[in-house]
Amino acid sequence: MTVTTPSISQNGRFEPFELQVARGQIFGHRTVKVFGYNPDIDQTRVTVWPYTGIIPIPQTPIQYKVSSSSANDTAAGTGARSVYISGLDANHAEISETVTLNGQTAVLTAQYFLHINDAYVATAGSSLGAEGDIYFGDGTVTSGVPATVYDLIKLDYNQRITGSYTIPVGYTGYITQGQFSSGQDVGSTSVTGRLLVVGLDGIRRAAAVVTVNNGVASYNFHYPIAVQEMNTIEAAAQGSANNNNASCMFSIVLIKNNGEL
C-alpha cells in the first residue's frame, strides 16, 4: 500500500507552489519536461531530435508502424520487448498504449495518433534496453526503418529525446524555462537555436532565439510564454558550419482551461 506524505503547507507551514504542482497537489496543474538531442547539425535548420530534417506532423491521425533496426527488439528477445507511447488523438485528447515489438517487422498501434508526446522502452530482456533504434512511422519499412519517420527512440537512450511537444486540448501550456547547448568535436562554430510554436495552420513561429559557440544558453521566462491548446512547441537548430551537435530542454506547466476546471 502506498502512503502519500502530506504537504507541509497542509499543516500551515510553507512549501513552494512549484513543488506542490510537481507532487500533483494542485488541481488542474501538472508539469512536463521535454529533452531533445541532435548529433548532426549542419547549415540547414533541423529539429533537435536524433534524426534528419524537420520533424513531420501528420495531417490526420494514423496508426503508427512501430519497428526496430534490431531483430533482437522483440517479444522474447534480449533487447526491448515493448514500448509505451503517449500522444494525442484526432481531437487532440490524450491517449496512450503499450506496443509489443516484433524486431524489424512493423507492428501497428491499436489507436490512431496525431502527435506523439512521449515514448520509452517499457520492458526489455537481458540487455536491459533496446538494441536498435525504435521507429514510429508510416510507409514501407526497410530493415526496420519506415519510409516516413514521425518519431523514434534512439539506441542507448531508451526514451524519446525529441524537442517537440503538443499541448493537449483543454489545457494551456506555459513555458517557464529552457536551455540550449551545442558543440563540435573539432573547431568552433556558432549554432543558432530557436524555440518555435507551431499553430494549427502549420506555420512555425519563433518564440525565442539564442546563439551559442561551444556553450550553453539558459533562459528563464519571468512571465511564462503561453501556448494555446493544440499548438506544438518545437526546438530547432542551425549551424554556421557543418558537423555540430545540439541539445535542448524546456519546461512546461499545463493548466486546465477555465471551462475545464
What is the C-alpha separation between 2 and 7, in angstroms, rounded? 16
Reported as a single tens digit per residue, the pLDDT across 147-190 is 999 999 999 999 999 999 999 999 999 999 999 999 988 778 89
pLDDT at 16: 87
Contact 138, 150 (CB under 8 A): yes
pLDDT at 12: 59
Percent of the chain as helix, strand, coil, to the nearest 5: 5, 55, 40
Which of residues 9 and 196 earns the better pLDDT score?
196
On the 0-12 / 13-18 / 19+ scale of CB atoms within 10 A, 84 is middle
Grid cell in block for residue 74: 522483440
User: pTM of the full predicted structure?
Assistant: 0.91
Which of residues 219 and 146 earns the better pLDDT score?
146
Q: Give the residue range(s) of CATH 2.60.120 domains in the chain.
A: 8-54+164-260
What is the C-alpha separation between 76 and 219, in angstroms, rounded? 45
* Torsion of the alpha carbons at 208, 209, 215 and 217, rounded to the nearest 10: -30
At 62, phi and psi to the nearest 5?
-135, 160
pLDDT at 23: 86
What is the C-alpha separation between 57 and 52, in angstroms, rounded? 14
**DSSP code, position 259:** G
CATH topology of domain 8-54+164-260: Jelly Rolls (2.60.120)
Q: Is the pLDDT of residue 31 over 80?
A: yes
Which of residues 258 and 142 earns the better pLDDT score?
142
pLDDT at 185: 82
Percent of the chain with pLDDT over 90: 82
Q: What's the longest Cα–Cα distance across the chain?
A: 61
pLDDT at 15: 83
- Separation of CA 112 from chain center: 18
- For 153, residues 6+ apart whose C-beta sits below 8 A from its C-beta are 80, 83, 119, 120, 121, 130, 133, 134, 159, 160
Residue 14 CA neighbour count, 13 Å, CB half: 1
- For 204, residues 6+ apart whose C-beta sits below 8 A from its C-beta are 196, 197, 198, 234, 236
What average pLDDT does the structure give for the chain? 93
Nearest CA among 95, 119, 92 for reference residue 200: 92
Beta bridge partners of 255: 29, 172
pLDDT at 230: 96
Reported as a single tens digit per residue, the pLDDT across 106-133 is 999 999 999 999 999 999 999 999 999 9
Q: Is the pLDDT of residue 234 over 60?
A: yes
Query: How many Cβ atoms sit within 10 Å of the Cβ of residue 123?
Result: 13
Which of residues 243 and 17 earns the better pLDDT score?
243
Q: Is the pLDDT of residue 3 over 90?
A: no
Determine the Cα angle at 6 with ends 2 and 8, to 5°.
Answer: 155
